[in-house]
Amino acid sequence: MLKCTKLVTKLREGKIGLAIIKVGLLGLGNVGSGVVNIFSENTEKIREYIGTEIQVEKVLVRDINKPRLAELDQRILTTDPRDILDNPDIDIVVELMGGIEPAFTYIKQAMENRKHVVTANKAVMATYCKELFETAKANDVEIRFEGSVGGGIPLIDTITNKLAGNRIDGLVGIINGTTNYILTRMSRDGMSFDEALKKAQEKGYAEADPSSDIEGQDAAYKLAILAATAFGLYINPNDIPCEGITKITEAEIRYAAELGYAVKLLATAKNKGGDLEIHVHPAIIPDSHPLAGVNNEFNALLIEGNAVGELMLYGKGAGSLPTGSAVVGDILDIIRMMRQSAKTGSSLAAGRNNLNVVGEDTGSYYIRITVVDKPGVLGVITTTLGKHGISIASVSQRSLGERLVPVIFITHEVEREKLDKGLAELRNYSDVVKEVACILRVESY
Ligand SMILES: NC(=O)c1ccc[n+]([C@@H]2O[C@H](COP(=O)([O-])OP(=O)(O)OC[C@H]3O[C@@H](n4cnc5c(N)ncnc54)[C@H](OP(=O)(O)O)[C@@H]3O)[C@@H](O)[C@H]2O)c1
């Protein structure tokens, strides 16, 4: 058996034609099985592409006797991580366990043992990307993490490699399939939030405990990874201002639709002249916006580069085979680097800019206020908001003879702080203003 370094030397010197590359998998759940199934379905294609064979040498699981979604020799299953991390025959370790520990420790240890790593673990990458990039660099190995954001959509590769000649000015995306599915069902079928969540759980798009998805934390993890990739900025995912979709009602979606807008959970990072505006929040987007047509469990990312202009990537953001496809792509990339004598060690290691991170900056807003239906109310609202520099682009009032009616405004661009002050003053007119029922950002195109 050849050790990784010896194998690379032989490959570089062209002394080996079809040397087998040995891979160790940490985890054989949804994504791990997808990877094994892709290897066995596409063996010929893969061999032709990299000029060598890949062998899954060992697979770490918790329970050896559990039924599996992929066919493989039971004898390669192990419950001892050392069979992979300390195995001199294994060149590439693929971490597909999930959670932060022990995944983080295993990834780090694999790199310290001079093994390349591929992972789809957003929690680990979002929390520890700086340390992991530095470990990769120090040990002259690669760490790849395409599957951690956007499932099967090649977002990381596009930003890192294909757009390497661009300054990235902005990213806006739908990067959580669970919430997009829920919002789609609420919008298309008039379901309540709870009904749509239940449907998502039945279809396997939402976990039994859906809080990380519906509170926006999953999207914040992914946005932190995108910010590191696109802007070289390491931001703790817990520091990203984040709001989920739990307060969105089917009525809100209907009101927005009547005005020609769709409600989406957006992850946004925009370079505004040295300030990085970054947040996860529900927003309304005009029906003509490219992200408005992204429905159900699909994901999409709109990227703005100073050379390429606007570019949108769309596809399945999760699932065994789509995510497995991203993982296999990373593995093949590493093998090609090994064969081509390319320099390894993550090129993302150095944080490369000093953008000032800001939360919500300026924006246009959708505001729904419940008011008493009587003459002069609109005047009170526009005058009060005007005093705070908030100008109104459009207003819609519905009166069906009830005492309390909704008034919906879309504002021009305004600082969030000014908006909050204006709305706070408006709440003082409690004889006519009963409730500021909803505030959503408007993302234009
Ligand atoms: N599922 C998706 O669509 C998707 C999409 C994008 C990214 N990801 C990411 O991909 C990773 C894997 O997700 P998944 O859905 O495949 O997870 P999963 O179905 O829960 O599988 C996890 C696997 O890891 C093994 N495992 C977990 N903890 C272990 C431990 N301490 N020691 C040994 N083995 C352990 C489990 O073993 P047992 O089988 O014996 O229990 C199982 O085989 C996660 O980081 C996830 O965020 C998933």
Cα(103) to centroid(ligand 1), Å? 10
- Asked if residue 145 is part of any domain, the answer here is yes
Q: Whose CA is nearest to atom 18 of ligand 1?
A: 29
- Asked if residue 94 is part of any domain, the answer here is yes
Q: Which of the listed residues 286, 305, 339 is the one where a domain comes to its end?
A: 339
Choice between 7 and 213, residue whose per-residue pLDDT is larger = 213
- Asked if residue 297 is part of any domain, the answer here is yes
- Asked if residue 354 is part of any domain, the answer here is no
Same domain, 295 and 213: yes
CATH code of the domain in which 78 resides: 3.40.50.720
Same domain, 141 and 170: no
User: Structural domain tally of the chain?
Assistant: 3
> Is 222 known to be catalytic?
yes
- Asked if residue 345 is part of any domain, the answer here is no
Structural domain of residue 255, as residue ranges? 155-316
- pLDDT above 60: residue 359: yes
Lining ligand 1 with CB less than 6 A are 27-32, 60-63, 66, 96-98, 102, 120-122, 147, 151, 318-319, 323
Among 58, 122, 222, 264, the one annotated catalytic: 222
Q: Whose CA is nearest to atom 10 of ligand 1?
A: 120
pLDDT of 296-349, one tens digit each?
999 999 999 999 999 999 999 999 999 999 999 999 999 999 888 666 665 564
Cα(147) to centroid(ligand 1), Å? 13
Same domain, 394 and 424: yes
pLDDT of 124-165, one tens digit each?
999 999 999 999 999 999 999 999 999 999 999 999 999 999
pLDDT at residue 351 in the model? 57
Cα(23) to centroid(ligand 1), Å? 17
Same domain, 237 and 326: no
Same domain, 389 and 283: no
Same domain, 178 and 275: yes
Using pLDDT thresholds of 50, 70 and 90, give the confidence band for residue 356: confident
3-state secondary structure the chain: CCCHHHHHHHHHCCCCCCCEEEEEEECCCHHHHHHHHHHHHCHHHHHHHHCCEEEEEEEECCCCCCCCCCCCCHHHEECCCHHHHCCCCCCEEEECCCCCCCHHHHHHHHHHCCCEEEECCHHHHHHHHHHHHHHHHHCCCCEECHHHCCCCCCHHHHHHHHCCCCCEEEEEEECCHHHHHHHHHHHHHCCCHHHHHHHHHHCCCCCCCCHHHHCCHHHHHHHHHHHHHHHCCCCCHHHCCECCCCCCCHHHHHHHHHCCEEEEEEEEEEEECCEEEEEEEEEEEECCCHHHHCCCCEEEEEEEECCCEEEEEEEECCCHHHHHHHHHHHHHHHHHHHHCCCCCCCCCCCCCCCCEEECCCEEEEEEEEEEECCCCHHHHHHHHHHHCCCCEEEEEECCCCCCEEEEEEEECCEEHHHHHHHHHHHCCCCCCEEEEEEEEEECCC
Same domain, 122 and 206: no
Same domain, 33 and 120: yes
What pTM, to 2 d.p., does this model score?
Answer: 0.93
Same domain, 191 and 89: no
